[in-house]
Amino acid sequence: MIRIIDKNRCCGCTACVNVCVHGCISMNEDSEGFLYPKVDEDHCVDCHLCDRVCPYENIRIESLEIDPECISAKAKDDEIRFKSSSGGLFSLLAQVVINQQGIVYGAAFDKNFHVIHRGVDSIQRLDLLRGSKYVQSETDFTFSEVKKWLKEGRKVMYVGTPCQIEGLYNYLGNKKTDNLILVDFVCHGVPSPKVWNLYLEDIRKRYNSKIECIFFRDKSHGWKTYSLTFQSESMPLQSRILTFDHYMQTFLRDISLRPSCYNCVCKKINRVSDVTLADFWGIRRINKAMNDDKGVSLVLLHSEKGKRLFQKIESDIEWYNESLASVKRINHNMVQSVKEPPKRETFFRNIDRYSFEELYDKTVRRGVMYELKNRIKGYLKLILHLLEI
């Protein structure tokens, strides 16, 4: 049975919960706000199905066969790109699946701005899934839902972190069917939902207002200088670029990530997914023709099924084949885990003692010169964006 002794070896994908036919496994939140499986040992029959689907118990050796096709791409429709985190490829691929009476799963906000996985089957509802959410999502029983849809002959596209996709792939029996499209992305790591809730509480108190809308990747100041934006009926639009926002800085300084993110077994080039999507950071060094600061997607096509899906959107995008070796040199998160910062333990040990801003000041904020340089860097990004318009 699944026993979480080392939290570095659990990504919280919920494959074990979904596969347990006796319903003996539940996901429980720990003191850091991450979910871990807990087994009801009185009812467990030691069938070991949970062990067989766990990405950390079944580490997949990277295939050294054919490398994926590597592409830079962006939607020709600027409105789609503006609403998207990078080049708008998720939206276009998802539209193809929905137009085939399929269902698309991805991360969405619930009414309290918790991040959960959910499925949508209409173009109008794609907005719920569009855009990055820098919080670990709860997949709950969506793996079981996918299995049900596939049995009914319905096409499904499931978008998640590499570990979520490996968990789903294992849960489905390591089988690939024409009706299932697996899409992952280049993942920096997943922040704690508890940290996110603490940050939201600070925002609500500061403005004495109920939040109506959140967007992590507002491109009003450009794709490279994206902003975290809040909106409500009772307060003006609040927008802070990534360099100035303390939640984003906590994430980008690797403090608020899940323990397994520092030793991710799913960071590799050859993946079980059909398509890998990412921001094409460094595009100006590789292909200046694509560099307009409105967003460019990196696309890796791992399977023939992924290639066929991509072909269906070629008329709606501008795209180029790129060198995989060049991409690997620039986009380190594709293959390398971030290092655990020394202050992480102190940060989470004090999470119940302080407000988010107090916690940031005491454990995340660095020296005066570092913070000054960081702010100057932010202003320079804003200036560069204005010069590029």
Do 68 and 217 lie in one domain? The reply is: yes
Give the pLDDT of residue 63.
66
Give the pLDDT of residue 336.
94
Question: 17 is in which domain, residue-wise?
Answer: 7-53
Give the pLDDT of residue 64.
60
pLDDT along the chain (389 residues), means of 10: 88 97 95 96 92 92 79 96 95 98 98 97 96 97 97 97 97 90 97 97 88 92 91 82 94 97 94 96 92 94 97 98 92 93 97 97 91 85 71
In a domain, 2, yes or no: no
pLDDT in tens, 362-380: 999 998 888 888 888 888 8
The three-state secondary structure class of 274 is coil
| Overall number of domains in the chain | 2
Give the pLDDT of residue 65.
66
Closest by CA position to 219, among listed 75, 315, 104, 333: 75
In a domain, 386, yes or no: yes
Do 100 and 75 lie in one domain? The reply is: yes
pLDDT in tens, 139-173: 999 999 999 999 999 999 999 999 999 999 999 99
In a domain, 98, yes or no: yes
The three-state secondary structure class of 206 is helix
In a domain, 124, yes or no: yes
Do 215 and 92 lie in one domain? The reply is: yes
pTM of the model: 0.95
Do 175 and 224 lie in one domain? The reply is: yes
In a domain, 1, yes or no: no
Query: CA angle at residue 131 from 37 to 31, to 5 degrees?
Result: 30
Q: What count of residues does the chain have?
A: 389
Do 275 and 159 lie in one domain? The reply is: yes
In a domain, 112, yes or no: yes
For residue 41, the domain's CATH number is 3.30.70
In a domain, 223, yes or no: yes
Do 37 and 148 lie in one domain? The reply is: no
Do 387 and 286 lie in one domain? The reply is: yes
In a domain, 80, yes or no: yes
Please, are residues 201 and 116 in contact by the beta-carbon 8 Å criterion?
A: no
The secondary structure element, H or E, covering residue 241 is strand 235-241
Do 233 and 370 lie in one domain? The reply is: yes
264 contact partners, CB below 8 Å, separation of at least 6:
11, 162, 163, 187, 189, 337
Do 11 and 130 lie in one domain? The reply is: no
Do 42 and 67 lie in one domain? The reply is: no
d(CA 197, CA 15): 25
Do 229 and 184 lie in one domain? The reply is: yes
Which segments of the chain does DSSP mark as H helices, in order? 15-19, 49-53, 78-83, 89-99, 142-151, 162-171, 193-207, 246-252, 283-286, 304-311, 324-330, 344-349, 356-359, 368-388
d(CA 196, CA 316): 36
Give the pLDDT of residue 223.
93
Do 38 and 110 lie in one domain? The reply is: no
